[in-house]
Amino acid sequence: MYTLGINAAFHDCSAALVRDGRVIAASEEERFTGIKHGKRPVPFTAWQLPFHAIDDCLRQAGIVLADVHHIAYSFDPSLLDQSAVTPEGGILLPLEPSRHGAAGPGHSPWDPLFLCYVVNAPRQLAAAAPLHLAGRFRGMGLSDIQERWVFLDHHLCHEASAYLASPFQSPAVLTMDGRGEGVTTSYGHFSAGKYTRLKQIEMPHSLGLLYEEVTRYLGFLHASDEYKVMALASYGQPEFRDVFRDILHLDGDGGFLLEPARLDERLGPPRGRGEPLAQRHMDIARSLQSVLEETVLHMTEWLQRQTGASELCMAGGVALNCVMNSRVARDGPFDRVWVQPAAGDAGTALGAALYLDDQLRGQGRRWVMEDACLGPSYEDEEIEETLERAGLKYRREEDIAAAAARLLAQDKVVAWFQGRMEFGPRALGSRSILASPLDPHMQMRLNDLKDREDFRPVAPAVLEERAHEWFDAMGRAELHSPFMLFVYDVLPECADRIPAVRHIDGTARVQTVRREQNPRYYEVLRAFEALCGVPVLVNTSFNTRGRPVVCTPRDALEAFYTSPLDALAIGSFLVEKQR
């Protein structure tokens, strides 16, 4: 049984394909179109479906759309407007643009247009595939699609993406984002194969939207730049913590209430785009981050008391805040914390497919998300054809990991393109830029190469069995962080040996690497250690100047030759620039 999950209502459009409980493929539309986050999260783009991501999932499975038995869309329009639901369970298209003009918090005059687009998503899938992809979408008419189509609650898809993918048997579940249909936060418990939702928090009370508002106030270009605010927070002091405590109130029952932020009134004029960052801006970022952590700790304490669980899994865009995740893991009530690596909206396609498959099969879980490499891969023959067509000089290496390590030991910056592309926002050793952590100037060099702000850190990849020798494992016997979603203190005795990956606050966003997850990536770490005595490399995403992470060999060559990268290790081939 094939089940296709689709995320398209807001941003980070994506698709995932599940066969009999096992995930076959998952991809994000941005990787194929070159448009970061797939599209802007505005009502008049809701009609756009992730056709390229769907096509990739079908291609990887060797099927066409007509072979799919069920289609799960990670947004339920009936939850946004109950008046649009007919007694027979159908959905009426709203036609009055002013219906929600004064409908209260969480609604917009644009809602009718948004609903119209979402409700018509099956028609889009039936008729609007780009011509160059049409072959895999033929043979399935609108009536066939409508029979197989299910709209699912957005937060349920976030929840399922966590509890149905996690390694835990009976976890508590917490999801936090900007908003779904009208919900911003969900609490639940997965036990004995069944999920029980405990409570939810609704609009306008949203941790994600508050963080977005501060991101805009601090002058960053996109609401999706929240990760920049998290990085900036390390340079500040919580001087404005009381301001954010006045905005964000704990309710004493595991939840929170949000007052209108009115940041201009409370904090003064916002930073203009392109203006220098002042200490005040850093202090505002730190204050917001501090209050976010306090709030989520309060939430997890309530959730643990309600469930008695020893393990927690999280999803939703707020769960991409790795500093917050680490605070929960270190100071929270749970013994273990797992975060779904595509925790943002892209992951709802995965959750939608897993949830519907689980409900229909009724035979329990059959899959655990051990790694995030679920996208397309390219064989050496296809890579070499691209290199030949481009007329480039290259050489085939018997041991590409050893060849790359030799260049890294010479302080060269190497683009690393291997195997299946990652699903989610982090490059985890398939579409990465690698560099030596020994040079204290490497972080600045990489930020310049990628045209990023100077304050942003770069992350270390480390052999998992050696990680505890370099980073504080928070009192645990081992450090296991394959998805780069937690920060750890760099051990004092190691700080001077890997200065490039140590953030100003002494932490690093660590990725641990095991051989069975990614053999070539593991081997390049081992080869670098043999040469330099350090089992750590800098790993940042293989993209440049605000573009998405590269997907195809052609994307890799374009990024390589339009940036000051030194070498490209692509499949078994090495390409070096002639200076």
CA distances from 320 to 424, 439, 483, 485, 531 (A): 10, 28, 10, 7, 34
Q: Which residue has the tokens 């785009």?
A: 273
Q: In three state form, how does the secondary structure of 378-423 look?
A: CCHHHHHHHHHHCCCCCEECCCHHHHHHHHHHCCCCEEEECCCCEC
Which residues, other chains included, contact 190 with Cβ-Cβ below 8 Å and sequence gap of 6+? Answer: 163, 168, 170, 171, 173, 196
Q: Report pTM.
A: 0.94
Q: CB neighbours (10 Å) of residue 187?
A: 24
- What pLDDT shows up at residue 309? 98
pLDDT, mean of each 10-residue run, the chain (579 residues): 96 96 97 90 86 97 96 91 54 46 54 84 93 89 94 97 97 96 96 96 94 94 82 97 96 93 96 93 98 98 98 98 97 97 97 97 93 97 97 96 98 98 96 97 95 94 97 88 97 97 96 96 98 98 92 97 96 92
Nearest to 312 by CA among 331, 336, 347: 336
Burial of 132 (0-12, 13-18, 19+ CB in 10 A): exposed
Q: What is the pLDDT of residues 292-322, one digit of tens each?
A: 999 999 999 999 999 999 999 999 999 999 9
8 Å CB contact between 421 and 375: yes
Q: What is the pLDDT of residues 132-143, one digit of tens each?
A: 998 899 888 999
Give the side-chain half-sphere CA count within 13 A for 294.
Answer: 17
How many other C-beta atoms can be found within 10 angstroms of the C-beta atom of residue 266? 13
Query: What pairing do the DSSP bridges indicate for beta strands 507-509 and 311-315?
Result: unpaired
The predicted structure's pLDDT at residue 223: 55
Q: Collapsing DSSP states into helix, strand and coil, what is residue 451?
A: coil
What is the structure's pLDDT at 102? 41
Yes or no: say if 415 and 563 are a contact pair by the CB < 8 Å rule: no
User: How many other CB atoms are there within 10 angstroms of residue 216's CB atom?
Assistant: 16
Burial status of residue 96 (CB atoms within 10 A of its CB: 0-12, 13-18, 19 or more):
exposed
Which parts of 108-220 fold into alpha helices (H)?
Answer: 111-119, 121-127, 142-148, 154-163, 207-217
Q: Integer distance in angstroms from the first to the last C-alpha of the chain?
A: 54
The helix or strand, by DSSP H or E, that contains position 138, with its residue range, turns out to be none
Question: How far from chain centre, in Å, is Cα 2?
Answer: 24
In whole angstroms, what is the distance from residue 25 CA to residue 18 CA? 7
Query: What phi and psi, each to the nearest 5 degrees, are found at residue 56?
Result: -65, -45
Do 154 and 74 form a contact (C-beta atoms < 8 A)? yes
Total length of the chain: 579
| Cβ atoms 6, 129 nearer than 8 A | no
**Which residue blocks in 460-512 are alpha helix, DSSP H?**
none
What was the pLDDT predicted at 173? Answer: 98
Q: What does 207-270 look like in DSSP terms, one character per residue? A: HHHHHHHHHHHTT-S-GGGHHHHHHHHTTS--TTHHHHHHHEEE-SSS-EEE----HHHHH-SP
Cis peptide before 204 (omega within 30 of 0): yes
Predicted pLDDT at 354: 98
Say how many CA atoms lie within 13 Å of 574 toward its Cβ: 19
Residues 357, 372: Cα–Cα separation, whole Å: 20
Q: Which residues of 272-289 are buried (b: 16+ CB within 10 A; e: fewer)?
A: eeeeebeeebbbbbbbbb
